Amino acid sequence: MPEDIEKIITQMTLEEKAALCTGATAWTSTPVDRLGIPELIVSDGPHGVRKVPDVNSMAIASLPSTCFPTASCLASTWNRDLIYEMGEALAEECIAMNVDVLLGPGVNMKRSPLGGRNFEYFSEDPYLAGEMAASMINGVQSKGVGTALKHFAANNQEFQRFSINAVIDERTLREIYLAGFEKAVKQAEPWTVMCSYNKVNGTFASQNSYLLTDILKKEWGFEGFIMSDWGAVRDRIAALKAGLDWEMPGPQERRVKAVVEAVRNGVLDEAVLDESVRRILNITFRAKKTPKTGTYNADAHHELAHKIANEGMVLLKNNGLLPLKNHEHIAIIGQSAENAHFQGGGSSHINPTKVAVPFNEIKKQADDAELIYAPGYPMDDTFQQGLIDEAVSIARAADVAVLFIALPSYKESEGYDRADMDLTEQQIALIKAVSKVQPKTVVVINNGAPVVMSEWIDGVAAVIEGWMMGQAGGIAIADILFGKVNPSGKLAETFPMRLEDTPAYINWPGETGAVHYGEGLFIGYRYYDTKKVPVLFPFGYGLSYTTFEYSHPKVSASTFKDVEGVTVSVDVTNTGRLAGAEIVQVYVHDRECSLARPEKELKGFAKVFLEPGETKTVSIKLDFRAFSFYNVEYKQWITETGEFDILIAASSTDIRHKLTVRLESTLDLPCVLDIESTIREWVTDRRGNAVLTPLIKNIVEMNRQSFGDDQEKDATGMDTMEMFYDMPLVSVLMFNQKFLSMPPEEMVEDLLRQAHAIK
Ligand code: BGC
């Protein structure tokens, strides 16, 4: 295989280079036979391989493949190893179906529960999302198959997703919306990254050189190539210049011509095109090192999908009814018991190898119980009282009712956002009616994002969040209902009480072409915790059939340097009678910071499996990033010396232990004082302080003479000293010009020169 890429580039014609940077079909790159450049084949993604047999088609049915649970469920496992294993399985299917790069995973944040594509995304927390994405990428790529981390960046809604301008301040972008991408890129080095459709701060992501080149390629050291989302490029030349290497889908003759002309006219430097060609060739030749032959074990993958669903489902409520035992008559109600709702609509839609039907799986595990079924609600959005009446009558006659409630695709899918967080009117009425006659009612919901439950949750005995559970999820539900498996999933996103409580509520979904991320850093639990807004189920929450105790919390050092980090450990004991798994979470609370910070942030977690009575020590390392925040003035992540609380927790609101540590910052930050810096900024800056301290007494005195220093003398009725510290030094001096020997601006410039000169 020819791999001297530099040599190949010199042999390629301009037309061949331009063509390589544009798809040949909906799913392939343009090969150059005479130079031995093969085509690269990509397929959706992310939770299954959607290989479309005709490369020219985007929409026809794909070849059968394993439909794993979608990302909401995957993240709720909090199990890195399991997600890695899923990655390996996905790669095996890619190899069997001749796919070089799988289009996934998606690591965008769940800014609002209404995001239509939330089912395809992991979490409202960038640490957790980044860990999950990195695990999946590492799994897939360990087998020589590539991934496309998507959608870079800020695809947090479907409303006007092809054009909306996401207006996000720099710190929020770095700490929330880019952090998951950064983690995945640095920890797993995806072969490719896919840009998003939307604009970010005024520029299309596909043409955004700040995002694509400055941050992704230069700052994070991303070495693969960047592809467009399908149809995301408006201006091909601007996109190439910004760092967008590959435009999809193809063919796009017009674009190829435009690139050729741009180089000929001197509008586009050929070196820019060469760099994209180099990146695409690197990945193409790397991909071809993996022979695409053989088959995969569909049964084993179905079993893996089953295992993941077992670990991802979250037991939200249980008054003791679950696990079910010795019931003779079980009413199974709800369409989704018969028609499993296990995936979402859109580009991720998989043609499954087989499907485990919940009703059948329950039948297998329900011993000798008699099962009676009623559909409960229609597939469409009509209201049919007759179906409710039928369900009520079988529920009344049974010992227990299991209600299967699936959020219909007209309410939740790629391409449009949800209008509300509600189940359908009929589903709500059904749950209320059934639980009224049958207190032993279990509700199993299948959905990709939180739903409101306040109208009915008090009336039911148990609730299982079954997610879009993948093709084998039907078995997992039966396992959990009957206790074959002890639930161990925890929420990767908050379940709010009501839509009005959600942080983005008043800034959603935007208007006149733009959406303002007005809540800033405060999304998900960062908002609810800081604002003390009660929620239905907090981030990190999930029940088990056993109980866990946390003891002997420790930190490796009570004072430590930021670059060294600190290790937290805790003993976890299974104090119940069943084997089970606990997800230990570590949050960090900054006691004092020069900038606003969320009440606490997730910075580490571990999932631990324990037999009854067993104890294991869990250790979690917290590094520099666990304590730092992005400072827009310094344009970097910084730490500040001071105390931090380390919270060892079973959920974001169930804090089991708190340890206080002292971090010593080793950063020697540059001086960022400028003409507008306030007195407070001058005195808190090491260099500014050294320069201003000898003068500050005089300045205070001048100010006192100009304004007076107590309320009686002060004709304005204000405490001017309060205002004084937060005024720019130059403004304070302006008011005192009569005392100065030079103009205030010149004086500040001189002080700035002195401060900046200090080492
Ligand atoms: C989606 C991508 C997907 C691509 C190809 C786009 O509309 O946003 O996630 O990979 O289509 O199907």
Q: What is the DSSP string of 312-359?
A: H-EEEEESS-PSP-S-SEEEEESHHHHS---S-SSTT--EES----HH
Do 129 and 23 reside in the same domain of the chain? yes
Q: What is the pLDDT of residues 584-626, one digit of tens each?
A: 999 999 999 999 999 999 999 999 999 999 999 999 999 999 9
Q: Ligand 1 centroid to 165 CA: how many Å?
A: 19
| Ligand 1 contact, 192 CB (< 6 A) | no
Q: In ligand 1, which atom is closest to the CA atom of 44?
A: 10
**Average pLDDT for the chain:** 96
Whether 300 is covered by a domain: the verdict is no
Catalytic position from the list 44, 229, 562, 590: 229
Nearest CA to ligand 1 atom 9: 347
The domain boundary residue, chosen from 492, 527, 562 = 527
The predicted model gives 723-736 an average pLDDT of 92
Do residue 81 and residue 221 come from a single domain?
Answer: yes
Question: What are 119-129's pLDDT values in tens digits?
Answer: 999 999 999 99
Distance 346 CA to ligand 1 centre (A): 8
CA of 153 to the centre of ligand 1 (A): 14
Q: Which of 238, 260, 287 is the last residue of a domain?
A: 287
Domain range spanning residue 34?
3-287
CATH of the domain at 66: 3.20.20.300
In a domain, 227, yes or no: yes
- The answer to whether the CB of 120 is under 6 A from ligand 1 is no
With respect to residue 536, please indicate whether it lies within any of the assigned structural domains. Answer: no
Residue 358 amino acid letter: P
Determine the distance separating the centroid of ligand 1 and the alpha carbon of 76, expressed in angstroms.
Answer: 24
Helices within 454-509 (DSSP H only): 473-482
Q: Which residue has the higher pLDDT, 453 or 735?
A: 453
The beta-strand segments (E) located in 595-653 are 601-610, 615-622, 629-631, 636-638, 642-651
738-746 own/partner pairs: CB under 8 Å, 24+ apart = 739/702, 739/705, 745/675
Same-domain check for residues 110 and 254:
yes
* Ligand 1 and 431: CB distance under 6 A: no
> Strand pairing of 654-664 and 636-638?
unpaired
Q: Note whether 179 and 323 are same-domain residues.
A: no
Check residues 93 and 709 and name the one with the higher pLDDT: 93
Distance of alpha carbon 110 from alpha carbon 610, whole angstroms: 31
Distance CA(334)–CA(460), nearest Å, equals: 15
- Contact status, residue 231 vs residue 162, Cβ threshold 8 Å: yes
Q: Let me know whether 746 and 694 are in one domain.
A: yes
- Is the pLDDT assigned to residue 268 strictly greater than 90? yes
442-446, 474-478, 682-686: the lowest-pLDDT one: 682-686
pLDDT exceeds cutoff 70 at 711: no
pLDDT band at 714 (very low <50, low <70, confident <90, very high): low
The closest residue, in CA terms, to atom 11 on ligand 1 is 230
Q: Is the pLDDT of residue 702 over 80?
A: yes
pLDDT given at position 455: 96
Taking residues 158-179, what's their average pLDDT?
98
229 lines ligand 1 (CB under 6 A): yes
Q: Which residue, 671, 657, 607, 667, is CA-closest to 637? A: 667
Amino acid letter, residue 744 = P
What angle do helix axes 126-141 and 80-96 make, rounded to 10 degrees? 40
What is the CB-side half-sphere exposure of residue 180 using CA atoms within 13 A? 31
Exposure string over 627-641, b if 16+ CB within 10 A, otherwise e: bbbbbeeeeebbbbe
Q: Report yes or no on 673 lying in a domain.
A: no
Ligand 1 pocket test, candidate residues 108, 347, 349, 413, most atoms within 8 A of CB: 347
Out of 230, 350, 414, 416, give the residue to mutate to test ligand 1, the one with the largest number of ligand atoms within 8 Å of its CB: 230
What is the pLDDT at residue 710? 57
- Per-residue pLDDT band for 705 (boundaries 50, 70, 90) equals confident
229 is catalytic: yes
pLDDT tens for 203-255 read: 999 999 999 999 999 999 999 999 999 999 999 999 999 999 999 999 999 99
Kindly state the average pLDDT of the residues 669-695. Answer: 94
Task: Give yes or no for residue 45 CB within 6 A of ligand 1.
Answer: yes
pLDDT at 1 over 50: no
CB of 50 within 6 A of ligand 1: the answer is: no
Q: What is the pLDDT of residue 706?
A: 81
Going from the Cα of 229 to the center of ligand 1, the distance in angstroms, rounded, reads 6
Q: Is pLDDT at 401 greater than 70 in this prediction?
A: yes
| CA atoms of 110 and 118, how far apart (whole Å) | 6
Residue 162 and residue 272 in one domain? yes
646 & 685 share domain:
no
Q: Say yes or no: 597 and 707 in one domain.
A: no
pLDDT score, position 709: 61
Spatial contact of 266 and 24, defined as CB atoms under 8 Å apart:
no
44 lines ligand 1 (CB under 6 A): yes
The enclosing domain of 355 has a CATH number of 3.40.50.1700
Shared domain for 648 and 738, answered yes or no, is no
Average pLDDT over residues 162-183: 98
Whether residue 622 contacts residue 605, with contact meaning beta carbons closer than 8 Å, is answered with: no
Handedness of CA 220, 225, 230, 233 (dihedral sign): positive
Q: Is the CB of 232 within 6 Å of ligand 1?
A: no
Nearest protein CA to atom 7 of ligand 1, as residue: 230
Pick the residue whose CA is nearest to atom 4 on ligand 1: 230
Domain count, the chain: 4
Of the pLDDT bands very low, low, confident and very high (cuts 50, 70, 90), residue 327 is: confident
Whether 671 is in a domain gets the answer: no
**CA 21 to ligand 1 centroid distance, Å:** 18
Secondary structure class of 466 (helix, strand, coil): coil
DSSP E strand stretches across 93-184? 101-103, 146-152, 165-167
User: Is the pLDDT confidence value at 183 over 90?
Assistant: yes
What does 44-83 look like in DSSP terms, one character per residue?
Answer: E-SSS-B--SSTT-SSSPPPEE--PPPHHHHHHHT-HHHH
User: Which residue is closest in CA terms to ligand 1's atom 8?
Assistant: 229
pLDDT of 722 reads: 77
Confidence tier at 336 by pLDDT (50, 70, 90): very high
Contact 150 CB / ligand 1 (< 6 Å):
yes
Distances (CA, A) of 180 to 130, 131, 176, 299: 4, 8, 7, 33
Q: Confirm whether pTM is higher than 0.95.
A: yes
Claim to verify: residue 336 and residue 472 sit in the same structural domain: yes
Read off the CATH number of the domain in which 593 is found.
2.60.40.10
Q: What percent of the chain has pLDDT over 70?
A: 98
CA pair distance 27, 252, nearest whole angstrom: 13
- Whether 540 is covered by a domain: the verdict is no
- Taking residues 488-510, what's their average pLDDT? 98
Q: Do the domain assignments include residue 535?
A: no
Ligand 1 pocket residue status of 347, Cβ below 6 Å:
yes
The answer on 116 and 19 residing in a single domain is yes
Residue pair 35/12 in contact by the 8 Å Cβ criterion: yes
- Of 527, 562, 597, the position where a domain reaches its end is 527
pLDDT above 90 (res 367) = no
Q: For residue 533, tell me if it sits in a domain.
A: no
Do 41 and 86 fall into the same domain? yes
